[in-house]
Amino acid sequence: MIKSELVQKIADHYPELYQRDAENVVNAILDEIADALTRGDRVEIRGFGAFSVKKRDARVGRNPRTGAHVPVDEKVVPVFRAGKEMRERINRGS
Amino acid sequence: MSQRTITRAELGEAVYQRIGLSRTESAALVELVLKEISDCLAGGETVKLSSFGSFVVREKGARVGRNPKTGIEVPIDPRRVMVFKPSNILKARINREGEDA
């Protein structure tokens, strides 16, 4: 499923909602999560999972082809951990 | 700067602020979005949300694990797990790239 299909499913459930509004709903949710992570906040959605950020220290990397040393800057990466209910559902396949 | 935790309530509020719907409807829409994503994943299907990332279901084979406390070997059955692959756009956004170059 891609974003436009998700938007369509939302619109199908709410005939009174414009397609554009359904799209805004999905974008508002994803933006809110992304903004929280940018601030360094955690996003916890019970039953679904939790998003957080982890800091990766600067390191010296290697170009695998040439073997040359390349400095890799410190960075922040988003991480997601599925919630208990979600893990169980995925495993059951229902 | 202290760390906050964002929950369903804040997601509902974000929808409420952006779309002219009631708080109740906004909360219901957040639930529906989460349900549609969950249902899809439970069926083993990948969910790709462009500019955000993808949720992928992976099949893990059986392996022999070990209780770290006792050292006793325990079989781990094959299972399915869900992983999130953040998009490059999300990764750049979180690192505030292009903001303070």
User: What pLDDT, on a 0 to 100 scale, did the predictor assign at position A92?
Assistant: 83
Q: How far is CA A57 from CA A19, A36, A54, in A?
A: 43, 21, 10
Considering the domain architecture, whether residues A48 and A71 belong to the same structural domain is answered as yes
Say if the Cβ atoms of B6 and A82 lie within 8 Å. Answer: no
Q: What is the mean pLDDT of residues A8-26?
A: 93
Q: Examine the domain organization and report whether A34 and A48 are in the same domain.
A: no
Residues 27-56 of B with CB under 8 A from A: 29-30, 32-34, 36-38, 40-53, 55
Do A67 and A90 share a domain, yes or no? yes
Give yes or no for residue A93 having a pLDDT over 70. no
Chain B hits for A2, Cβ within 8 Å: 47-50
**A8, A90, A92, A94: which to substitute to probe chain B, counting the most B Cβ within 10 Å?**
A90
**A56 and A19 inside one domain:** no
- Please give the pLDDT value at position B98: 56
Q: What is the pLDDT of residues B32-83, one digit of tens each?
A: 999 999 999 999 999 999 999 999 999 999 999 999 999 899 999 899 999 9
Looking at the structure of chain A, the number of domains it has is 2
Give the residue from chain B lying closest to A9, CA to CA. Answer: B36
Instruction: Provide, as residue numbers in chain B, all residues whose Cβ is less than 8 Å from the Cβ of A90.
Output: 41-42, 57, 80-82
**Could you tell me the pLDDT band of residue B101, with boundaries at 50, 70 and 90?**
very low
State whether A20 and A34 are in the same domain.
yes
Lowest mean pLDDT of A83-87, B13-17, B95-99, name the range.
B95-99
Shared domain check, A20 and A49: no
CA separation, residue B22 to residues A28, A50, B16, B25, B26 (Å):
15, 26, 7, 5, 6
Q: Are residues A46 and A92 both part of a single domain?
A: yes
Best-predicted range by mean pLDDT (A14-18, A52-56, B77-81): A52-56
Q: Are residues A25 and A36 in the same domain?
A: yes
Residue A87 domain boundaries: 42-94
Between B48, B57, B91, which is nearest A77 by CB? B91
Collapsing DSSP to helix, strand or coil, A23 comes out as helix
Residue type, A33: I
Residues A4 and A36 occupy one common structural domain: yes
Q: What is the CATH number of the domain that holds A62?
A: 4.10.520.10
Same structural domain for residues A36 and A48? no
Local confidence band at B99 (pLDDT 50, 70, 90 cut-offs): low
Three-state secondary structure call for residue A1 = coil
| Shared domain check, A35 and A47 | no
For the complex shown, is ipTM > 0.95? Answer: no
- Which uninterrupted H or E stretch holds B12? helix B8-18
- The reported pTM is 0.88
Predicted local distance difference test score (pLDDT) of residue A60: 95
A47 and A87 together in one domain = yes
